[in-house]
Amino acid sequence: MSELSEQILSQQPFPRLMGVEILAAGKEAVKGRLTVRPDLCTAGHILHGGAIMAFADALGATGAFLNLPPGAGTTTIESKTNFIGSAKEGSVVAGEATPVHIGRRSSVWQTKITREDGELVAIVTQTQMVL
């Protein structure tokens, strides 16, 4: 895991457990990847929907955190996922979260999850509350 990924995920134990890797992180976008391990799959050997949502949540929450004022925190208060395709066990999915809205009390992030061949797996839209 890269130093950037370690630094960002040091306070996020669940994404670390899943194997989320942060590749780039800034106020305008957060990029990551996830290897589709057997323990993250359905009986059909495809990435579980909950794993897709958790991956996207980690990326969007990271973006929201990077846009917070000093001393503030954030939490997800709403998340919606459109499942478009699937990702097979053993493959790697990529995610990119970008802000739709950044306000004083909340931010909204859209994350696109894609397969290695560029095909879309899911689009996740989440709202983060500023604490």
Per-residue pLDDT of the chain (131 residues; tens, 9 = 90+): 688 778 888 889 999 999 999 999 999 999 999 999 999 999 999 999 999 999 999 999 999 999 999 999 999 999 999 999 999 999 999 999 999 999 999 999 999 999 999 999 999 999 999 99
CATH code for position 54: 3.10.129.10
Residues of the domain holding 42? 3-130
Question: How are strands ordered across the β-sheet holding 92-102?
Answer: 21-25, 30-35, 92-102, 106-114, 120-130, 74-83
- Number of domain units in the chain: 1
The reply to whether the predicted model has a pTM over 0.85 is: yes
